[in-house]
Structure 1
Amino acid sequence: MTGWQWIRTVLNWLNLTTLVGLLIALAGRASLRRGPGGLVVAADYRLPVPKQTCLTMGNLVICRRPADWLLSEEHAGLLGHEARHATQYAFFGPLFWPLYGLASLWSWAVTGGYGSHNVFERRAGLDAGGYADLPLRGWAAHLAALFSSPR
């Protein structure tokens, strides 16, 4: 674990986001396994919500699939995406949740998809997280053109 990964891990325990993730993972009867860079994979999560295959809370990556699936070389991009979310939690702490919610609403309003123009998903890597880069809705594209055209 690098120095920054250690700091991220400590911050996410101190800001309680990893603890909240752990409680949710245990409620979903997930099994825990150490991952790289201070991450913990909570595999085989069973609750019906959220619907995503993976969800990060602090340094805990909750996954509906077995840990070996997420930790495989084939899914290294997805694990990197989730690690970037862990870093976002270190910076924002519990404020990440309402900020992420607002970013999701904004993305849905301008594209019809909650991840495509969500700043947190874009910074974590849309493609690696399995999100499509959707075009802007007509009104949003028109508004963007108004602000980007040279005067």
Structure 2
Amino acid sequence: MSQTILIEEVFQSLEHVMDPEIPVLSVVDLGMITGVDIEGEGVRIRMIPTFAACPAVSYIQQNIRKTVEQELGIAVTVEIDKEAHWHSNRMTDAAKEKLKNFGIAPPQVIEGEMRAEIMLETPCPHCGSEQTYLRSPFGSTLCRAIHYCRSCGQVFEQFKPLE
């Protein structure tokens, strides 16, 4: 089996490793995988957490190792990539659509310098209205904020934009 095919298969397997806090998103959707290297009979996968203090990092590492080993029958090492940092622009367009369908507003794309006003410009994932306001920059997890939609009356979370 060629290295290219194996790396492709590893990424296909990683699509089955879901975020424990947002189970509609895979580690690939979130842009958490920074590298896959073939090493002898095994594979080394490098990943980054979405937040430095993410309490689920070791859980995600275990799920990556377990899933890829079970699906591909190869030894897997999962390391935290200390050379890269996660930012919300790493999320795929598909991830943002999945978030919206799950009822969480996706982060806006950050171009240039991050500004606080970007948190105020959050369309409602339920009705699409831009008549929303930030209720709290602190949501159920570190990566989310709470908003309210004046149009449909729904309270919703937003995945915070980070650079």
TM-score range, shorter chain: under 0.3
Instruction: Give the TM-score of the pair, scaled to structure 1.
Output: 0.25
- The structure carrying a bigger helix percent of its residues is 1
Q: Which entry has the higher C-alpha Rg, 1 or 2? A: 2
- The structure carrying a bigger strand percent of its residues is 2
